[in-house]
Copies of this chain bind each other. A is one copy, B any other.
Amino acid sequence: MVKINDNYTKLPGSYLFSDIAKRIARYSEANPDKKIIRLGIGDVTQPLSSSIIDALHKSVDEMADADTFHGYAPDLGYEFLRNAIAENDYKSRGCDIRPDEIFVSDGAKCDCANIQEIFATDNVVAVCDPVYPVYVDSNVMAGRAGDYDEEQGLFDRIVYMPCLEEHGFAPEIPEKTADLIYLCFPNNPTGAVITKDELQKWVDYANETGSVIIYDAAYEAYIQTEGIPHSIYECEGAKTCAIELHSFSKNAGFTGVRLGYTVVPHELVRDGIELHSLWARRHSTKYNGAPYIIQRAGEAVYSTEGQKEIKELIAYYMRNASYILEGLKEAGYSVSGGVDAPYIWLKTPEGMSSWDFFDYLLENANVVGTPGSGFGPHGEGYFRLTAFGSYENTVEAVDRIKRLANK
């Protein structure tokens, strides 16, 4: 008789964003006339830019001809894309990352969920609290999280690093040593960033303790402030302790296109083995490459025209972020994030719980956000809004919230 992986039964409820979708569907069904504005899930709304569309059409045409048809992609991804990434995301920032240290994938979500597989199940994992749920859930499924304490909302083998208001909603180095540390800057969900000097402390800590940092840089393109690092490899010694994840979803609007990449430097060695070789083995055994046409679309992001378009797209969303940030301040909310990140982190009014505030906003302003408690216990009493809506919808949503506050 087959036995199931009972770690799955330890997962509390379903995946956060599935929960939200169901709650919206229920409200919509009961109130079909209401125009709901979604600033909840971090999904983009603006179309792909023209260089990307052109690259897609061109590569689709290549697939129509036997002479230019592309079958299975190389294990690590096409060289044209890995070269463009190495040149633009690393060399131009003074980071010495080689193309063969870059693994192209179908997105940062999959990579951040899968990367734990190359580590032993008895490693201690540290995550921010609040945190993007995938880091925790993927470790729960693998049996690395221990048991769930319903009352506290915490797993007993995970080290939680609270992101508190007094530290700008960024985590501090934990007192208990952790083997695998998940960091995300600009942070999802709080929108916090840290300086290069501050990030250097994490790198030094990891090199001292032998920990590995899983650095999620999915939102780096949103950094506006000088001195905020775009890559952990800007820090000295990061190549011996850090794996970095990147996404094309948020800078180039690829949420429905699916492309990302992970960097595992050759210098990152544990137990005498290059982690690069383990990830390469996982990649070649359990994955089969991103579609050729999508990798060509990724290449187009790095063209001169593509870079110009991407900057405009980010400016578009950052205008939304500004509007939300200022509007909520005017409405009397306590807010942070939204300056170097597409996420605005707000304190719920009058000690309302996150889910109560979710329902309150949905029912009274028909605006959807994400309950902070969905990201962890220290997210309770907070709420995340994203800048990824259209400008018109964002303005309308914020104006509705302002009117509600003035009632």
Contact = CB atoms under 8 A, between A and B. Distances in A.
Interface of A: 1-6, 8-9, 11, 14-15, 17-18, 41, 43-48, 50, 53, 56-57, 60-61, 63-66, 69-73, 75, 106-107, 109-110, 113-114, 117-123, 133-134, 137-138, 141, 179-180, 209-212, 253, 255-258, 270-271, 273, 275, 278, 281-282, 284-294, 390
A258 B289 contact: yes
Contacts of A289: 256, 258
Given A209-B1, A286-B110, A60 B57 contact: yes
B117 A4 contact: no
Contacts of A180: 2
Contacts of A255: 71-72
A138 B284 CA distance: 11
Contacts of A138: 285-286
Given A3-B271, A257-B291, 13 more contacts: A2-B120, A4-B271, A8-B282, A11-B281, A17-B284, A46-B69, A47-B66, A56-B63, A71-B255, A110-B287, A114-B286, A134-B285, A137-B285
B288 A106 contact: yes
Contacts of A288: 106-107, 109-110, 258
The 8 closest A-B pairs by CB, nearest first: A1-B210, A113-B286, A3-B120, A43-B71, A2-B179, A71-B255, A70-B256, A15-B284
A163 B162 CA distance: 56
Given A2-B211, A256-B291, A44 B64 contact: no
Contacts of A119: 2-5
A281 B179 CA distance: 26
Contacts of A109: 286-288
A137 B118 CA distance: 13
A114 to B, nearest CB: 6
19 contacts: A2-B210, A2-B211, A3-B119, A6-B271, A8-B281, A8-B282, A43-B72, A45-B69, A48-B63, A56-B60, A63-B256, A63-B257, A69-B253, A107-B288, A109-B287, A134-B286, A138-B286, A141-B285, A141-B286
Contacts of A114: 286
Among A6, A61, A71, A289, find the residue whose CB has the most chain B CB atoms closer than 10 A: A71
A119 to B, nearest CB: 6
Contacts of A122: 3
A1 B169 CA distance: 27
Given A64-B50, A256-B73, A285-B113, A123 B3 contact: yes
